[in-house]
Structure 1
């Protein structure tokens, strides 16, 4: 069998994620050869503007998806939080691997929690969702935009003398940095994560039955259920990185508990609700949760936006 080619972004974190899939595939299938091909995306090249100003989260996956369609790669490994709600025709997410820690984390030099941050703390984040929630918890905080890979953001925190920055715990854990940094892990009920945060998706050509079979061993059913619910919630809201939306699903026996959030970017208002239902109805549960928040004014809140200053 010819070597399998994985397409990946070139950041250290993206390559670690792709390498984890490569290792799992080679362990599951004796003699299988897997290589990684780095593909630059528009989101990696434009670092001086926030994602909502340059077209949204799809900027991290479009070029990689095109490489799949062009058959220059066999498999794409994505952070699920970067994947738009609708896949290009001809592609499918063949496996969703076991989720790493879905929480957000506040990194500061002193190990502050949101509650113990000094008055007027300056917090760096490129995410409107994180911006809205830290402003909701601490309206006195000033938020400044921060783009780049994890190491770049940590360096900018020092150079710009920021009080702290908000990041995904999963990325720091995969980079083996979390234990080296003073940090506060944020309760996902109080600080709702991004849709898909912490999960990896393995995308292939829909017609590629060989790759589908190879990836079957990497699938984590519980993570898939949680992600289906979260993404259904986001898709019903027609949301993306232009608006502060978050969702967090977790399984308890055969039940999916799903929390959804819609907020004003300035933190002045937030709608949040948790529902529970049959895990086999994850997508219906996500849509129902979105309908509940829409009835409470979610779309009006999303359209109103908030201050980006």
Structure 2
């Protein structure tokens, strides 16, 4: 039996609405007999815009209210940027689908200087991510990193209003909103590894709602799901929320039988770091993430993170 109506919960930002509408359109095409309704909600992360994310906690800032609505039956599912999702979900909820990942990288936007290499010493670069900050400073310790909060359009506007020389944003979000022409450089993975799950959408639903789960199955992209399983296992093993200076990127190799995972753990100033990679059977994706995390923690990553936690 198929439900007659599905209510999708979403944040109200332009990007969140694009993502929810995209999933809604896919569902309407696949299940034309089902009425799809969007319900806008405000999360904690949307309410607190004048404090750096790292100071208000990294886990569930953009998901908790949506998850509570799902558990109470107010909505049937929620669409998130996977990079905003905690590694542990509330009891009763599950990632019902993970969509095919688009460009996972980070974009530099600098109308005047164009590239990271061209930025002058002391250049003011805006980002709300400790991950980006640490990796930028590793490459360019002479930069001045400015905390940048707000939705995508707000951050683009602040490039001018706050007299910044550059800002760094996810390529995927800019492309989804049709703002790819703003990008002046896509940062190399050698310089800036992405956040866990960056570029993929996560559709969250109630574990016991089998009808909704079945309707969402077609949105799953198995190679992406395997790659991000390795990434999320890595993050969980190092006990890091989204506001920890960790970059990690997994891919399923062309054979389909292996996953390659590359990661970095850095101090906030980028001066200390551990980088490593691992390749292994795709059926063991999560185990590979755990193995790489333990190896990197033992190689100095734990000490770096301990110093970070002691200073916050």
Q: TM tier, shorter chain?
A: over 0.9
Q: What SS does the corresponding residue of 1:77 show, helix, strand or coil?
A: strand
| Equivalence for 1:69 | 71
Structure 2 residue 39 is matched with structure 1 residue 27 = no
| Equivalence for 1:3 | 5
* Deviation (angstroms), 1:289: 0.5
Task: Give runs of ≥4 in structure 1 deviating > 4 Å.
Answer: none
Deviations 1:250-295 (A, max 9, x none): 1112211101111001111121111111111000000011011011
Distance in 2 separating the partners of 1:195 and 1:175: 21
Q: What SS does the corresponding residue of 2:61 show, helix, strand or coil?
A: helix
* Deviation (angstroms), 1:120: 1.2
| Equivalence for 1:213 | 214
Distance in 2 separating the partners of 1:268 and 1:182: 27
- Structure 2: unaligned runs, 5 residues or longer: none
Asked whether the 8 Å contact 1:110–1:182 carries over to 2, the reply is no
Q: What SS does the corresponding residue of 1:7 show, helix, strand or coil?
A: strand
- Structure 1: unaligned runs, 5 residues or longer: none
Change (3 A) 1:182 1:224: closer
Distance in 1 separating the partners of 2:51 and 2:248: 25
Deviations 1:27-59 (A, max 9, x none): 111322111100100100000011111121411
| Equivalence for 2:152 | 150
| Equivalence for 2:291 | 288
Q: CA RMSD of the aligned region, Å? A: 1.4
Match of 2:43 among 30, 34, 41: 41
| Equivalence for 1:102 | 104
Distance in 2 separating the partners of 1:298 and 1:87: 25
Q: What SS does the corresponding residue of 1:60 show, helix, strand or coil?
A: coil
Match of 1:266 among 265, 269, 276: 269
Asked whether the 8 Å contact 1:114–1:137 carries over to 2, the reply is no
Distance in 2 separating the partners of 1:78 and 1:226: 17
Asked whether the 8 Å contact 2:84–2:242 carries over to 1, the reply is no
Distance in 1 separating the partners of 2:214 and 2:112: 48
Asked whether the 8 Å contact 1:105–1:183 carries over to 2, the reply is yes
Match of 1:89 among 88, 91, 102: 91
Change (3 A) 1:167 1:275: same
| Equivalence for 1:297 | 300
Say which is worse superposed, 59-68 or 242-251, in terms of deviation.
242-251
Distance in 2 separating the partners of 1:199 and 1:245: 18
| Equivalence for 2:197 | 196
Q: What SS does the corresponding residue of 1:192 show, helix, strand or coil?
A: coil
| Equivalence for 1:59 | 61
| Equivalence for 1:235 | 236
Distance in 2 separating the partners of 1:150 and 1:43: 13
Distance in 1 separating the partners of 2:106 and 2:300: 26
TM-score scaled by length of structure 2:
0.96
Change (3 A) 1:201 1:28: same
Asked whether the 8 Å contact 2:230–2:289 carries over to 1, the reply is yes
* Deviation (angstroms), 1:305: 2.2
Distance in 2 separating the partners of 1:169 and 1:270: 25
